[in-house]
A and B are shown apart, each in its own frame.
Chain A
């Protein structure tokens, strides 16, 4: 009895089976290689959209979505569960809340300097071209929120209601 054939039979049964939950993940060397090569470029493009949004089309929201999609392509290539184990949930949560805090903080900082909420020009007293850099920081904050929320929604929807107990420690 060859173990190889029974393994593949079992896999085929699991994949096609009576099938309430058909197997989502198909391991493919081509997809994995493509994603490994392309992912850094997607992330670079996302950061370009985010940082360059002040002078060209784009901005935090669009760049954040593209950055979040990097994790989705990784999950597509390597499987959602292994990507979830690789990714630290605390980083995602910190990005989402950090983005909101950065945005609010910039607004409150302007008030602390004597201006109104989100009045970036107040920062001119501290460093030159303050409005531009404050806008860039705000865009990065938005990008962090959107990227983290996109990743979070992805994993949450993938998990659904019955997450197994084995994932509780993640």
Chain B
């Protein structure tokens, strides 16, 4: 596996932002690091040629989530940030590092990007979608065809889950109007 310079820089950026979001003591700074992390990941999706996912990550992860986090922070008391980083406890570091190593060990098992023999590409279902999506749904974006047509019922469920989010927020905050 070879990385281009820009991919390597993005990976370092994303990892740095993730560690920053976890370790920074100032919650505002942690939220900002988290937003930068989302933006970096969305660019990574774009470089992996998944623009639909990248767009969602940029809009939801970097955009809406940051705004909602900031609003929530503005309604809470912020802890005094008398030092830069959270104290790191070894009993936390050891399991987390072990988990990271475990997950990292599976990375070499993944197929290379664009490998024609990869399970997803060679899979019967994926090939069916790629070959028949336009003929059956008249939609050129295969992702949209899968989301809205082949998996329409799932997407309906997702829409209802999103709708439920605002209903739950109304109930928890004991409000009766959304705006």
Contacts and interface: CB of A to CB of B under 8 A. Distances in A.
Interface of A: 20-22, 24, 49, 53-59, 61-62, 65-66, 68-69, 72, 84, 87-89, 92-93, 96-97, 99-100, 103-104, 107, 117-118, 120-121, 129, 131-132, 135, 138-139, 141-142, 145-146, 148-161, 163, 170
Interface of B: 51-52, 54-56, 59-60, 63-64, 67-68, 71-72, 74-75, 77, 136-141, 143-145, 147-149, 152-153, 155-156, 159-160, 162-163, 165-166, 169-170, 173-175, 177-179
Given A84-B179, A129-B138, A156-B166, A65 B144 contact: no
Contacts, number: 159
B148 A138 contact: yes
Contacts of B148: 59, 135, 138-139
Contacts of B147: 59
Contact of A156 (B67, B136, B175): B175
Contacts of B163: 96-97, 99-100, 145, 149
B137 to A, nearest CB: 5
Contact of B139 (A49, A55, A57, A99): A55
A69 B77 contact: no
